[in-house]
Amino acid sequence: MSSLWAAPFLLTSEGTLIKARVRALNNIGWSDYSAANTVGATVQTVPGPMTAPTRGPASTTTVINIQWTVVADNGGPSIDSYNLQWDSGSNGVFWLDLQGNDGSFSTALSFLSSPSSLVVTGGITYGFRVRAHNALGWSPSFSPVLYMIASDVPSQPSPVTTQVNNHFVRVSWSAVINNNFQAIDIYQVVFLDSLNVPQTIPAYCDASLAVIATQRYCDVPMTVFTSSPFNLVPGTLIKAMVKAHNVLGWSAYSSVNTVGVIAQTSPS
């Protein structure tokens, strides 16, 4: 098949009908050529290019999960292998095979930093690329490279603290202990109403705003907590939770605070 791809044939387009004619020879001479066939075998090629692999949802700071989609153009023959390579954190200088044996049909791969011989270190950027194989050979080139940091969503924040600030309740929280190698961009704070249902207060505590996310506190009027939808009885602890966000998603909510400001009303 590969001889048809080269000069003088240059049949490089998959699916092109391979046409031929034949003539016969006897002691008088040659016959005319037959008409060219109109049906029959078509040109087959190596697989086409692949798109870049993607970060799988199981990836963390110590596990890398790589996924890729089936090659769009298999060249005709069935795909019998995918060859996944990584640069082991060398910034594309060295490439090592992770997968690529005949019969390997997997479109996803996970590996651990330990006990596997592959060492994955949180915060390091790793490159991955993939190509496909059929009976005629490998894709002419690897896919574009996926570069990804061994990272994860933030760790769970510590409980919030509360204090009275004039007629406001100031709710403060600490930076998360571990952002898992991706910068924190926003927070979300929820408060528990009288039925312990979490409620947001976007008018006063929208921690997706840069100023609040940076200062890590917000001030909420005390009257908010003693009116609907909170309806806290005076003397009830004002409870809140906070969670942190980075490019990979949200952390778990913090535990609810067990100490702090209690709901109060003005004297009658």
Per-residue pLDDT reduced to its tens digit, 14-44? 667 777 888 888 898 888 888 888 887 777 8
Nearest-5° Cα angle at 143, 138 to 147: 140
Q: Is the peptide bond before 77 cis (omega within 30 degrees of 0)?
A: no
Domains along the sequence of the chain with CATH: 54-149 (2.60.40.10), 161-250 (2.60.40)
Confidence of residue 100 (pLDDT cuts 50, 70, 90): confident
pLDDT score at 9: 61
The CA-atom distances, in angstroms, between 127 and each of 117, 120, 134, 235, 246 are 17, 12, 24, 56, 21
pLDDT above 50 for 83: yes
pTM for this predicted structure: 0.78
CB 47 within 8 A of CB 69: no
Per-residue pLDDT reduced to its tens digit, 132-161? 998 888 999 999 999 999 999 999 999 999
Per-residue pLDDT reduced to its tens digit, 64-75? 888 898 898 888
Q: Kindly calculate the radius of gyration of the chain based on its CA atoms and give it in whole angstroms.
A: 32
* Nearest by Cα to 77 from 32, 9, 133, 148: 133
Q: What is the rounded average pLDDT for all residues in the chain?
A: 88
pLDDT above 50 for 264: yes
Q: Which two tokens stand for residue 105?
A: 């049909």
The Cα 105–Cα 83 span in angstroms is 10
